[in-house]
């Protein structure tokens, strides 16, 4: 049976690529993109679009009823760096949007939800290397606190109301089609743009800051695989650890130099350094591997090739 999908926050970094992939898979007319602002041409031209505020329950409900939506992907969120500047706005957006979709599912108006969590659920007391699925969390950022709370609510709605909600803890995501906005891992995208434009980059994290990262194609594949997995296979209803690669700014720079030998990097850490220092360096994702066969395909070499190759004609 053909299903109908709604994406909230479709114009953001993940939402844009997810919408395009879901449209290719399920048919353009069956995937409704929505956001509080219009997006890029490829998204706006390829299927239905609704201007929608993810914090407005009635507005989402209207769109769900109108298009007879079965599944919602909630991609609207305020990320870590911006959330430190606007804590209450971040809390309102990140939590109210989640309650809206959880309650729609509780009321049986939709049947399945995808909601993204993040490595930001971990904090300074979390073991840094191969961070386990279940371990000390204690996030120290506004964004991390909202994501950890969200995870608890997802599991609660699953257990209490049988809501089929699924989630992964995304690492930093690297993509060339859409820019990230307001995150701590954004340097890993900016660096490729600046390398092509100026052959130099000033990084807002120090050279040894090792963080978990992932190329967008892997992230989109993980998201759709998880959503297509049989419910009974899923043992985690808070959010799955999702691993791929880990690297430092220095290592990305060394990799870029294989293609742009004159590339130079300098370091000028700002408030985002403290956020990055509170996050894990690498992730144990054995639960995702076991439950739904997760396997990443992109390492740093391949990511660098893809980024430089696809961006070279845009600068």
- What residue ranges bind ligand AKB (CB under 6 A)? 79-80, 118-120, 143, 170, 172, 183-185
Output the smallest distance, CB 216 to ligand AKB, in A.
12
C-beta nearest to ligand AKB: residue: 183
Beta bridge partners of 67: none
Tokens of 243: 């691993």
Q: Shortest CA distance to 170 belongs to which of 144, 192, 191, 145?
A: 144
Closest separation in Å from C-beta 132 to ligand AKB: 18
Q: How far is the CB of 102 from ligand AKB (least distance, A)?
A: 20
Burial 151-181 (b: 16+ CB within 10 A, else e): bebbbebbeeeebbbbbbbbbbbbbbebebe
Please state, in angstroms and rounded to a whole number, the distance separating the CA atoms of residues 259 and 45: 34
CB closer to ligand AKB, 73 vs 170: 170
Give every CB contact of residue 123 below 8 A, 6+ residues apart in sequence.
136, 137, 138, 139, 140, 144, 278
Q: Give the separation between CA 10 and CA 230, rounded to whole angstroms.
A: 25
Q: Which is nearer to ligand AKB, 50 or 284 (CB)?
A: 284
* Residue tagged active-site, from 57, 67, 143, 170: 143
Closest alpha carbon to 287 in 203, 166, 192, 190: 166
User: With respect to ligand AKB, which residue has the nearer C-beta, 143 or 201?
Assistant: 143
Nearer to ligand AKB, 80 or 304 (CB): 80
Alpha helix (H) residue ranges in the chain: 13-26, 41-45, 57-67, 80-85, 87-106, 142-161, 187-198, 216-228, 249-257, 272-277, 286-292, 300-311
Query: Whole-number minimum distance, CB 188 to ligand AKB, in Å?
Result: 9
Task: Please say which residue, 186 or 194, places its beta carbon nearer to ligand AKB.
Answer: 186
Give me 143's structure tokens.
């964004």
Q: Can 73 be counted among the known catalytic residues? A: no
User: Would you please indicate which residues are annotated as catalytic (active-site) residues?
Assistant: 143
């Amino acid at each position: 049976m053909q299903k109908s999908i709604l994406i909230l926050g479709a114009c953001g970094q993940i939402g844009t690529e997810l919408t395009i992939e879901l449209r290719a898979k399920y048919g353009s007319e069956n995937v409704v993109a929505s956001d509080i602002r219009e997006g890029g041409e490829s998204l706006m031209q390829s299927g239905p679009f609704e201007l929608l505020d993810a914090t407005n329950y009635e507005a989402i409900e209207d769109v769900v009823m109108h298009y007879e939506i079965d599944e919602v992907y909630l991609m609207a969120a305020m990320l870590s760096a911006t959330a430190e500047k606007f804590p209450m706005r971040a809390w309102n957006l990140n939590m109210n949007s989640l309650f809206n979709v959880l309650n729609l599912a509780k009321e049986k108006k939709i049947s399945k939800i995808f909601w993204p969590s993040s490595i930001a659920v971990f904090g300074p007391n979390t073991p840094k290397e191969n961070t386990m699925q279940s371990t000390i969390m204690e996030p120290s950022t506004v964004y991390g606190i909202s994501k950890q709370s969200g995870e608890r609510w997802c599991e609660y709605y699953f257990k209490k109301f049988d809501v089929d909600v699924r989630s992964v803890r995304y690492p930093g995501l690297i993509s060339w089609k859409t820019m990230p906005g307001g995150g701590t891992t954004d340097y890993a995208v900016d660096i490729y743009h600046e390398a092509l434009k100026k052959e130099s980059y000033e990084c807002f994290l120090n050279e040894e800051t090792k963080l978990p990262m992932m190329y967008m194609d892997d992230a989109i594949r993980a998201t759709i695989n998880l959503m297509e997995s049989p419910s009974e296979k899923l043992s985690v209803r808070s959010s799955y650890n999702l691993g791929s690669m880990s690297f430092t700014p220095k290592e990305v720079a060394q990799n870029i130099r294989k293609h742009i030998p004159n590339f130079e990097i300098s370091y000028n850490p700002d408030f985002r350094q403290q956020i990055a220092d509170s996050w894990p360096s690498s992730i144990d994702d054995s639960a995702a591997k076991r439950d739904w066969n997760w396997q990443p395909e992109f390492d740093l070499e391949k990511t660098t090739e893809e980024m430089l190759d696809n961006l070279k004609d845009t600068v």
